[in-house]
Structures are given as structure tokens and as C-alpha cells.
Amino acid sequence: MSLNEFQSEWMPRFDDYLYSELDACVPAQENLHKAMAYSLMGGGKRIRPLLVLATLSLADGEITDGFAAAAALEYIHTYSLIHDDLPAMDNDDYRRGRLTLHKVFGESTAILAGDALLTAAFEILAESTAISADKKIKLIGLLAKASGPNGMIAGQMDDVEGEKKALTIEELKQVHEKKTGALIRYAVTAGCLVAEADEPFTTEMEEFSRHLGLAYQIHNDLKDVVLDEAETGKTIHHDAALNKNTYPSLLGVSGAIQELNSVIGQAEGCLDRVALSYSGAEDKIDVFRQLMDYVRI
Amino acid sequence: MSLNEFQSEWMPRFDDYLYSELDACVPAQENLHKAMAYSLMGGGKRIRPLLVLATLSLADGEITDGFAAAAALEYIHTYSLIHDDLPAMDNDDYRRGRLTLHKVFGESTAILAGDALLTAAFEILAESTAISADKKIKLIGLLAKASGPNGMIAGQMDDVEGEKKALTIEELKQVHEKKTGALIRYAVTAGCLVAEADEPFTTEMEEFSRHLGLAYQIHNDLKDVVLDEAETGKTIHHDAALNKNTYPSLLGVSGAIQELNSVIGQAEGCLDRVALSYSGAEDKIDVFRQLMDYVRI
């Protein structure tokens, strides 16, 4: 099955679930509902939910059993973008070509809608009827750890503090492991947990997710530099890129591309080993292989 | 047992637990830890955790079994104050005589510390070893509902929107039921749930908590007016009080005092019925009776 086929088959059904959970969580407060919906429907690529569901499929689990974990993850991801865009944080007016939430609904509503999505994520998991209490508790504990003060939020704090100083490449990796890597890893772990995958499979796929997360970040940094160059005609080493802690600024553009290719190679190695070790995996693993195309330069 | 005795015996132990959970959640990010600790140790009266533990005691449960629910509740309450104080929200520089978090640590850290406390609340409940997975899932679902977009956050949105228009007394009650009432009710529900209290007991104590929450709010509104009058010598019906949706502005001061006394009477009625119906309750219910002294004018 190709990535396109998997997306066409599952993502519209998942989106229906995502929005129905929104109606269940916020039946009464109209503007809060509107604000949460604005961000949830903001044209995100749903990479994290896709990873949950594709991992479940690869592990021969029931895909709909992962809807709650996938929706909770997308709620957490969405809240983190809303709060990141606030004037006191990155102060971004646009995201994915649309005005950011606080530009449309005001800052107080954006703060509250972010808080609401964060809280609703745990409600969705707790209320799911598809999985056992034991699994739900594990998923909730892991999600809180991945997104909380020792995971994503620690990475965001490191990032805020890191803006004032130069990081080494190892420090930069650690920031990203927490800031973006922890949620990507959670996607894969949640899929394995719901499907009751065995330990070697889970370990290999978590290793894959670490490489994917890192590749995603390097690709993102490179894209900014390359796009900027193409659009503005400035040299690559302009001030903004140099003063920020990014892979191109620390490794140079060709060094960063080399690093990206090396990381993609390691991710593909994980996929090869899974395809070899599990019967039936070869057919389903194309979804993951094609996902890697998103991060190639 | 008196309220003082209960507090002396249990609250220092509870505080130790609360801080040890903070160390467990945020081992590495120093400034995030400091910011969360600053607010958690901000001199709050710990009314909500006290309610959890006293309800557990009244229902003959193991008090330490309620520590996780009580700590999670205090984390949620604390995050809500941090975000409420932000410039985009109430823009308060002081709380309980100390500078608010964003005045000391900056706005971005305050946003992140609030998010971190909110997330850690669910981590604490999920990781608790004292209670079963079934109870934890119920506690997490109820906490998310009480504090989320259909509970506290809906009340905060209503409050933001209500500033622009005059509310009726019924509308004002509904705002407070969600904004402050939902978490107070959760405290009692959580205590009953952990102790496996029977349904009539739970219903009566939840009814009590509704009156307590309402009394607390009316008392708060009245205190502002009375204190203001005593301190400034202004008349009671000054502009700020008149333009806000408060009990004194809608009912007048004597009307609000009358309403407060009526609500206190109803709360005490609940306590009387519990004391009569459950052997051994009379001795322990003084904690609740004396708690009502906080809200008398």
C-alpha cells in the first residue's frame, strides 16, 4: 500500500473523528469552539496521527483503536503551535498561509484555546471506549511525559534560552529531541502500544522515529535557507541564519545536507530490518518509506 | 477533629508530596523548574487539596490515596492563575502580595510554566501507584472535564466575553459554576471516588461543594467592595464595582450578603444530613463546618 492510498483511506475518517471529539468536548462555548476548530482545521499535514495509524497497521493492530491516541496527539501538537505563535513567544502573524489564531480571535482567546486543546487531549484518551483502562493510563502517562516539562516544554524553554547563546551541534540535537522529537516518537510508541507489538519491533520503530524527527528538523532548517536564497537572492550566510542555532549555521549547508542524508539512511535501515523480520511488513512499510520523501532535499 | 488539627497533620505531608512530584516531572530544565516552583509555593491556601483529603477522611478512605488527585488539582488551579494573570488576560502584577510569575520570569516562561503545570497534572495522576488504573482513568476524565473547554476554560471565556455586557444573576451564577465551581466540585468528587463512597454520600457532598463554591464567589465579590470602602472611604457603588458583573453590583450589598447567608445555610444543611446519616461522620465534619468560616462576612 502506498502512502497516498493509506492517506486516502484513513485520514478523512480520522478527521471526522477529530472533529466529532471537538463537538463532544466543547458543546456550549461558541467562540471557544470556533477558535479550537480554526486551528485544528488549519491545513496541518497530520503527520503525527498518520504515524500512529500507520504504525498500528504495520503491527497488525486495529487501526480505529488508535484514533483516540492520534487525535490527542494532534490536539497537543495544535495547542503547542498556538502558544508558540503568541506575541510573547515567536510572535508569528501567519502559519501555513493563514493568520495565526491570536491575530483572528485575539490573544486571550488564543491562550485559552491552547489550554483547552491541551486539556481536551487527555479527556479524549480517558473517554475512549475502544481500548482498556490499562492501555489508556499508559498512553496518558507517555503523552504527558512527551509533551510536558521534561519533554516538549523543556525543549521550548531550552529554545527560548538558546536564542541568547551559541549551541554545539550536540546541544542543538538535544533541544530538538525534546521540542519536536518527543511527540514524533510518541506517535510510534502509541501505535505499538495499542497494537501490543513485541519489544524488538517497538524498539526498532522508536529508533526509526528518532531518525525521522531529526531528519525532519534538519530538512526544515535547510528549507528555510534554500527558500530564502531562491526568493531573495541573498547569500546563504545572511545574518538571521548565522545568528540562529540551526543545522546549516552550525554545519554549513553542504554539511547539513550530508548529515540529513546520513540520518535518512539510518531511518531506512530501521525500516529494512522491520520489513525483513516481520512477515507481511514489506507490503505495508512503503507508507513509511514514502514518508521519508517529505524530508529529502 | 478541628480544621486546624486536620491542616497541621496533613498539609505539610501533602506539600512534601506536591514538591517531590515537581522534582519527578522536571528533573532537568532549571528555569522551568524554578518558575513552576515559584507559583506552586506562592502562598495559596490549598483549599482544593484540603477538600479532597477531608472528603476522603470523612468517607473513611485512606488519605494518602488522595494525594495524587489533590496534587493534580492544585497544579491545574495554579496554572489557571498564571495564565489568568498574563498581560493579555487580567494583566495582574501582584498575586497574594508577591509579583506574578510573568513579572519575575517573563511572559514566555509564564506561558510555558502554565502549560507545564497543566500537563504535569495528568502525568501525576497517570503515574500514581496508590490507586487502580480504573480509578485513575475516572479521575483523569473528570479532571479534564472540570478544568477543560466545557468547564473552567468555558467559564473563563464567558468571563472575558461577559466583561463587555451586563449579565443577569442566573448568567453570573453559570459563569462561576464553570470558572471556579467545577474545580471545587471535582475536589469533593475525587475524594468520594478514591474512597469508594456510596452514591447518596457523594450526591450530598457534591451538593455541598456547589454551595461552597457559590458562597466563596459571593464572599470574594463582597470582600472587594467592603475592603475598598474601608480603605478608600469611597461609596460602595463606585464605577468599577458597578460596571463589573458581581453579586453586589447585581443584588446590592445587602442583597448579596443575604444571598451569601442563604447559600451558607444550604451548605450547612448538606453537612447536617451527612453527619446524621453516617456513623463517625459527626466527629470529622467539623473540618467542613469550620471551612465555612472562610466565607462568612
pLDDT of residue A166: 85
Determine the average pLDDT of the residues in A91-117: 96
Contact A109 B157 (CB under 8 A): yes
Determine the average pLDDT of the residues in A65-72: 98
How buried is A154 (Cβ within 10 angstroms: 0-12 exposed, 13-18 middle, 19+ buried)? buried
pLDDT of residue B243: 66
Per-residue model confidence as pLDDT tens for chain B (297 residues)? 899 999 999 999 999 999 999 998 887 899 999 999 999 998 888 999 999 999 999 999 999 999 999 999 999 999 999 999 999 999 999 998 999 999 999 999 999 999 999 999 999 999 999 999 999 999 999 999 999 999 999 999 998 888 778 889 999 999 999 999 999 999 999 999 999 999 999 999 999 999 999 999 999 999 888 865 555 444 444 445 556 789 999 999 999 999 999 999 999 999 999 999 998 888 899 999 999 999 998
Hey, of B79, B150, B178, which one would you mutate to test binding to chain A, going by the most A CBs within 10 A of its CB?
Answer: B150
Contacts of A111 in chain B (CB under 8 A): 83, 86, 88-89, 111
What top-level class would CATH report for the domain B1-291? mainly alpha
Contact B147 A26 (CB under 8 A): no
Q: Which residue of A has its CA nearest to B107?
A: A88
pLDDT of residue A224: 80
Hey, CA dihedral for A247, A252, A255, A257, is it positive or negative?
A: positive
Instruction: Indicate the pLDDT class of residue A232, thresholds 50, 70 and 90.
Output: very low
Over residues A172-204, the pLDDT tens digits come to: 999 999 999 999 999 999 999 999 999 999 999
Do A87 and A102 contact (CB within 8 A), yes or no? yes
Contacts of A83 in chain B (CB under 8 A): 111-112, 115
- Report the phi/psi class of residue A181: left, alpha or beta, with left for phi > 0 and alpha for psi in -120 to 50: alpha
In angstroms, the Cα distances linking A137 to A140, A142, B134 are 5, 9, 9
Minimum-distance CB partner of A144 among B123, B141, B156 = B123
pLDDT of residue B162: 80
- Interface confidence, given as ipTM, is 0.94
Residue with grid cell 531506512, as numbered in its chain: A268
User: Rounded to an integer, what distance in angstroms lies between the CA atom of residue A216 and that of residue A224?
Assistant: 12
Q: What residues does each domain of chain A span?
A: 1-291
> Nearest C-alpha of chain A: how many angstroms from B101?
14
> Nearest C-alpha of chain B: how many angstroms from A209?
23
Mark out the alpha helices in chain A (DSSP H runs): 3-25, 30-40, 47-58, 67-85, 101-105, 107-127, 133-147, 152-162, 169-176, 182-195, 199-232, 239-243, 247-251, 253-277, 281-284, 286-291
Q: Which residue of A has its CA nearest to B89?
A: A108
Contact A149 B25 (CB under 8 A): yes
For B147, other C-beta atoms within 10 Å of its C-beta total: 28
